[in-house]
Chain A
Amino acid sequence: MIRKKKCVAMLLAGGQGSRLYALTNNIAKPAVSFGGKYRIIDFPLSNCVNSGIDTVGVLTQYQPLILNDYIGNGQPWDLDRTFGGVHILSPYQAKNSSDWYKGTANAIYQNIHFIKQFDPDYVLILSGDHIYKMNYSTMVNYHILNDADCTIAAINVDKKDASRFGILNTNDDGSIYEFEEKPKEPKSTLASMGIYVFSAKKLYKYLEEDCADSSSSNDFGKDILPKMLKAGEKMMAYEFTGYWKDVGTIDSLYEANMDLLGDNPKFNVADSSWKVQSRSPLAPPHYIGENAKIGNSIIMSGCEINGTIENSVLASNVIVKKGAVVRNSIIMSESVIGEDTLVEYSIVDEKTIIGSGAIVGGLVNSKRKITVLGRNITVADGATIAPGEIVDKSVAKEEK
């Protein structure tokens, strides 16, 4: 019997994420922590598993060490399979050439043999920088129902934001007649989410053509999709109505974290019908001390809290000492907030130590400006870090 898979997912996880500044100095964007327990890549990976897609190629390029370690053999997502499962695909040296991934389409093209060994009918292309829960199998079914060659997931955005996205202009039946990349005057508000389903044979054909075309930038959005539309292939927009957030910027990453808070959060990660799986840290339950005050926050295992936490997200093994106040902030794992230190409107990356009596971030003219402290740095006792600063080196106390 020849074994095959109905659908193979390819997850583009090579992006540098330069707009996340200090947070992606040493790690790829999909490995950035989110929501206390997760990393961004948990969302597309869990979506795959929950949608019954058990073969996923993860294409890495930029700073892949932590990401590779995190994915490992895929066991936390039940993706340690003998046939299928998760595979890390990094650029490699071939007999006649060796290249970095030049664009999204080129990355997939270089791994076309990986896809072909599963002989899939459909290929799902995903990116590793979005927070959402989506059933991909419904999208694949929609693709099959419409006998489409390519289906693009799309979400309705506010009219004022539409000019920041790739906009899909569609006919009444959902078929696409035009792409507009960041249009000044958008005709529709249907934005591409960067999630594509291709019929495998068509994908192979267009990737091969694209590779042969030296003028191409080898990108799905810029090259492959317009070429397919021009050639008259059937392209459908699949409208998604749930929560979706591109967390490619400091502000959007911050907002997405805050969307987890509240009695009726905009985004519910604790949904038992759509579990988000992740590689869990080995830590005891967190401890809340005698003097702690906690309101509207998310706290992970292993934390020791003796200060005040409000409207914040704390990842595992964070220590908040007596008198410290953490407000409207995101503290990633293994960081320490010293005694009587105030942290407001900040993102503190992993393993960062803030001394006592320090002031980190705050409001500027009652407007929010997110302060970012990078990974593995030390902020001295009594230091002040101004709102909106992005710090990736240790900070000594200013001499007065």
Chain B
Amino acid sequence: MRAVGIIFSNIHDKNVAELARIRTLGSIPFGGRYRLIDFPLSNMVNSGIDTVGIITKNNYQSLMDHVGSGKDWDLARKDGGVIILPPYGNAQNSTLYNSRLEALKGITNFLFRADEDYVIMTDCDAVCRMNYNEIIDNHIKNHADITLVYKKRTLNEDEIATELELTGNRVTGVNQKSENDGNEANIFANVFVIKRTLLQNIVLDSISHNYSHFMSDVVARNINSMRIIGYEHKGFFAGITSLQAYYDSNLLLLNRKVRDEIFGDRSVFTKIRDSAPTKYGNSAIVKNSMIADGCVIEGEVENSILFRNVKVGRGSVVRNSIVMQNAVLGENCTLDCIITDKNVTVTDRKYLSGSANHPFYIAKGIMI
């Protein structure tokens, strides 16, 4: 009850434009049965944060369907729980927000109504387990005004990110970084903690000054006048910054260590849908793959992630691919380095191939 959570569900939609065309970044399917928002949302629940606002902008039908009442995260509460915050126009502002700060302006009521001391904000562009409690503890101990969480890492290809300049744990500069020079840098993880009353003041202040960007207008301007600190996330962190990164991060789950860190304690929550258990036929050959419930496998699957209710026909081969829900692969077809969105059908004897550094994406509902 000491912190209220805010999740930005589609602030990075452009990262994976293909997948986010019909949904928010937060509702992009991941890891066989999850959606990206499950990771921050589960982190909230596992850190004891039980009032969570989810800020959306557009394309949020799948998100609302997924989150529902929040009961699968134990967030269907009388007091608090999960609240989806779609944008709404008012007298001053009739267009959709374009930045984090504008989005926060739209939810001032939510912020004022809460009685928690702190606000923890996160985006849906990363797969990781974070203990927000420790971050808030650290924030309190350091008498911080704002805590920015970062990960020491190299940039992904084509990634544009915010690099933190640190002196001790104090953030002394924020720069945009867009070139992967091969060196590890302190890359902002789009997670931050702030006192709720301070955030309210910042939002009111930025309305009167017409500020719009949190990083450049608030953090950069106040880098000396406020106590802004960095907090390093040391665990696994997979940034979903492009289709390639999405593909690579999915396949990282085939690594036992990663799987144990993310799923070991079985506390990543997601919407529960009932499928029968997966059935393997006599001709199935499966190696190094993650396979969700409801599949029927009669062909070969290797180094792949299969979502729920995927059918792989006799003689078909799926390699290095991510196959989302309800795909039907006929007989004797081959998929190599392919990402299929939901409800894709591949008829008999088709050969589809991308490459490991350029996976091929097949859109939702396509029949080949």
Residues of chain A having any CB pair with chain B under 8 Å: 35-37, 75-76, 261, 263, 269-270, 275-278, 280, 282-290, 292-302, 309, 313, 315, 317
Q: Which listed residue (A278, A287, A301) contacts B259, Cβ 8 A?
A: A287
Give complex CA distance A314, B294 in Å: 14
Give complex CA distance A295, B281 in Å: 6
Q: Which residue of B lies closest to A301 (CB)?
A: B293
Chain A residues with Cβ under 8 A from B276's Cβ? 35, 37, 269-270, 276
> Is the pair B259, A282 in contact by a Cβ cutoff of 8 Å?
no
Chain A residues with Cβ under 8 A from B270's Cβ? 282
> Is the pair A37, B288 in contact by a Cβ cutoff of 8 Å?
no
> Assuming the A-B contacts A37-B277, A295-B280, A299-B278, are A287 and B254 also in contact, with contact meaning beta carbons closer than 8 angstroms in the complex?
yes
The number of inter-chain residue pairs (CB within 8 angstroms) is 110
> Assuming the A-B contacts A263-B281, A285-B33, A296-B282, are A302 and B266 also in contact, with contact meaning beta carbons closer than 8 angstroms in the complex?
yes
- B112 at the A/B interface (Cβ < 8 Å)? no
Give complex CA distance A270, B263 in Å: 26
> Is the pair B289, A284 in contact by a Cβ cutoff of 8 Å?
no
> Is the pair A290, B288 in contact by a Cβ cutoff of 8 Å?
yes
> Assuming the A-B contacts A277-B274, A282-B266, A300-B277, are A294 and B254 also in contact, with contact meaning beta carbons closer than 8 angstroms in the complex?
no
Q: A183 → chain B, closest Cβ, in Å? A: 38
Chain A residues with Cβ under 8 A from B280's Cβ? 294-299, 309
Q: Which residue of A lies closest to B287 (CB)?
A: A290
> Is the pair A284, B290 in contact by a Cβ cutoff of 8 Å?
yes
Per CB-CB distance, the 3 closest pairs between chain A and chain B, nearest first, are A285-B32, A270-B276, A285-B292
> Assuming the A-B contacts A270-B279, A301-B33, A301-B293, are A284 and B268 also in contact, with contact meaning beta carbons closer than 8 angstroms in the complex?
yes
- Count of chain B residues near A, Cβ 8 A: 41
| Cβ < 8 Å to A, chain B residues 288-332 | 288-294, 296, 301, 305-307
Q: Which listed residue (B33, B279, B284, B301) contacts A284, Cβ 8 A?
A: B33
- B8 at the A/B interface (Cβ < 8 Å)? no
> Is the pair A288, B287 in contact by a Cβ cutoff of 8 Å?
yes
Chain B residues with Cβ under 8 A from A298's Cβ? 277-280
> Is the pair A286, B291 in contact by a Cβ cutoff of 8 Å?
yes
Give complex CA distance A287, B267 in Å: 17
Q: A89 → chain B, closest Cβ, in Å? A: 25
Q: Which residue of B lies closest to A277 (CB)?
A: B274
Q: Which residue of A lies closest to B301 (CB)?
A: A288
| Cβ < 8 Å to A, chain B residues 238-261 | 254, 259
- B71 at the A/B interface (Cβ < 8 Å)? yes
Interface CB pairs A-B, < 8 A, 24: A37-B293, A263-B282, A270-B275, A270-B276, A276-B276, A277-B274, A282-B267, A284-B262, A285-B31, A285-B32, A285-B291, A285-B305, A285-B306, A287-B259, A287-B291, A288-B287, A288-B289, A288-B291, A294-B284, A295-B282, A298-B278, A298-B280, A299-B280, A299-B291
